[in-house]
Structure 1
Amino acid sequence: MPFHLDDLDLDSIPDPYHSVLRRMAAAVEDRAVTPAVAIKVIREHLVPLLSDVDSALVSIQGQPSWDKIRTLYPALVFASESQQKQLLAAIGRLIELFVRHSDRPPREIDFPPFIEVFSFNRVCGYLGVPIAKPLLETNDGTRDLYRFCKYCWLPARRKDVCAFHTTSFDEASAARSQPACAHISLKQAQRLRTAFEQHVLALTTRDEMEFHQSGFDLPALLPPSGLSHWLDVRRPHLASLVRKQADTSANSLRILSAVLYGEELGAKVVEAIGGAVYLWTPITTRAEGWLAAWAAKSPRGGARRRGIKLLEV
């Protein structure tokens, strides 16, 4: 079907973009808007409005598809929030309108629940790396390691929270062998959440933008070797915490897993992910954002007395 401009409420769209939408509709005419047509129109009418750096956010690799084009809208919106660039949000909105209203009833565009996983999947697509969902078998059933607790990077159990961030969790049990995020109270985690999400968004956007600017040469994914160096460069807060727990004979991945999940669960996660170490990337993104947010909070008093020195990175 063509682009149904008449279905839009133009009064809800800023005037400067009316002419852009009309030019897009004129370019389509009465043709059916296929993915190939859609990306051609987007490149000709929307990409020129962006800077060379930001235009990388409107690129797709390989054969155009609606699934690939749908990812452009949330990518631009997330980037606009991180970089405080309203133009990115506006271009994202125009893409959303174009994709939605080139069909009847309008196509649906869902926001991804976790920006770090969304971006990771995009980067994997650019590199031709298999996109996989790491699953962990536990006594409670199979858990998706990318279905995160809303307060940290651990897998959620129910109600979008992990075992440590519930009202029933016993804080006294958070010993040094527990995940790093278990060493603060639920109230602290709740207060940290906004800053945590902002840091994750900023880090995710930075990584993907630098990846595009490098011509896809930047090692955006956790590599099979050189873990310590990669953490130092890409995840400095997490690297500091890993070094704090390591000794000269320690396996870096084992230490990383223990910091992120605790020793027992961490060993199981290492086994579940196996040699596909790049699957750790969005987990480290989330952990780095959490640790950066915590470091910026400078907790005092009771937080220190509960042994939070472990988190002084």
Structure 2
Amino acid sequence: MPLYLSDEDINAFSREDVSVALWAIKLHAADMAVTPALALRLIHQYLLPLIPPEHWHELKVHRAATWDGIFFIYVALGFCVTSNEDPLVEVMYAIKLIHAHTKRQPREFEFPTVIEVTEFLAICQRLNIPVQGLRLKSAHKVDPMEYCTLCWRHPLPGRKLCAHHAPNSPFQDDGREGAKGAAARYKAGMRQKKRFDLEVNRLLTTETIEHHESLFTTPILLPSQNIAQWLSSRRPQIWQLLAERQLEVTDD
């Protein structure tokens, strides 16, 4: 897909150096398929020099480039802006423009519909924690921010249900159960969905209120240190399920 940047889009920037950079990017990408990797390389080549060096780390993507990752570079730079007059604002919006205009209908970032994920991203933004590296898509297409509609297991590829709850799942827990067992698990999950959603909202509300009342200091996100202590105090049921393996839990 080429880069659909119009003259009006580019000339709308008040910073001449940003407009020149976008013209260079448009010419460089002419008649080329603009992949996330190419878009990121062009951003580094033409827009990175326009950013103060102390913010260069925001443009580093530690895994394979994705369109979501490029959008989160725009978000991360937004947290570096000190005012509407900050020169960084125009560079930030230039990156958003590149993210959007590699499709005839401009690409928009799809915010997650799962309330827990939405609140998690909001907390990360509030605490100025970069999130572009979190949406890891492995070779098996596992996204840690997507899960089954009826539980917290990972969904099957391209599905909204996990292997446990999908009525026609190719991955049965027990080969002896067959299609009837899979259908029964799906029906049981549907019967419990209202209760599941209520419990999710209860837990989320409790932690969100606690976080706000503590002026955003409560450690509700998984820490990088003392993970065992955090699990035992904030996720006691998970801690109990570890049973005899609790001693194996280290920060590493």
Band the TM-score falls in, shorter-chain normalisation:
0.5 to 0.7
Corresponding residue for residue 50 of structure 2: 49
2:207 counterpart of 1:154: yes
2:116 counterpart of 1:58: no
- Alpha-carbon separation, structure 2, partners of 1:144 and 1:120: 27
Secondary structure at the aligned position of 2:62 is classed as coil
Q: Specify which of 118, 121, 142 is matched with residue 200 of structure 2.
A: 142
1:37 deviates by: 1.1
- Alpha-carbon separation, structure 1, partners of 2:85 and 2:10: 22
The aligned amino acid for 1:95 is I
**Does the aligned pair in 2 maintain the 1:223–1:277 contact within 8 Å?**
no
Corresponding residue for residue 166 of structure 1: none
1:106 deviates by: 0.7
Superposition pairs of residues 158-307 of structure 1, within 5 angstroms = 222-225=223-226, 253=230, 257=233, 269-272=235-238
Corresponding residue for residue 156 of structure 2: none
The structure-2 alpha-carbon separation of the partners of 1:62 and 1:140, relative to structure 1 and needing over 3 Å to count, comes to closer
- Alpha-carbon separation, structure 1, partners of 2:104 and 2:80: 29
TM-score, reference length from structure 1: 0.45
The aligned amino acid for 1:141 is E
- Alpha-carbon separation, structure 1, partners of 2:239 and 2:145: 10
The aligned amino acid for 2:62 is Q
**Does the aligned pair in 2 maintain the 1:2–1:33 contact within 8 Å?**
yes
The structure-2 alpha-carbon separation of the partners of 1:180 and 1:60, relative to structure 1 and needing over 3 Å to count, comes to closer
Corresponding residue for residue 93 of structure 1: 93
Q: Deviations over 1:169-225 (max 9, x none)?
A: xxxxxxxxxx58669xxxxxxxxxxxx5xxx6xx9xxxxxxxxxxxxxxxx961353
Q: RCO greater where, 1 or 2, for CA within 8 Å and sep 6 or more? A: 1
1:97 deviates by: 0.6
**Does the aligned pair in 1 maintain the 2:10–2:23 contact within 8 Å?**
no
The structure-2 alpha-carbon separation of the partners of 1:54 and 1:273, relative to structure 1 and needing over 3 Å to count, comes to farther
- Alpha-carbon separation, structure 1, partners of 2:31 and 2:202: 44
**Does the aligned pair in 2 maintain the 1:61–1:125 contact within 8 Å?**
no
- Alpha-carbon separation, structure 1, partners of 2:60 and 2:211: 37
Percent sequence identity over aligned pairs: 20
1:7 deviates by: 6.5
Corresponding residue for residue 4 of structure 2: 4
Aligned length: 180
- Alpha-carbon separation, structure 2, partners of 1:180 and 1:51: 33
The aligned amino acid for 1:44 is Q
Q: Deviations over 1:11-40 (max 9, x none)?
A: 542142221211110111111211111011
Corresponding residue for residue 26 of structure 2: 25
2:83 counterpart of 1:117: no
The structure-2 alpha-carbon separation of the partners of 1:47 and 1:221, relative to structure 1 and needing over 3 Å to count, comes to farther
- Alpha-carbon separation, structure 2, partners of 1:95 and 1:253: 37
**Does the aligned pair in 2 maintain the 1:133–1:144 contact within 8 Å?**
no
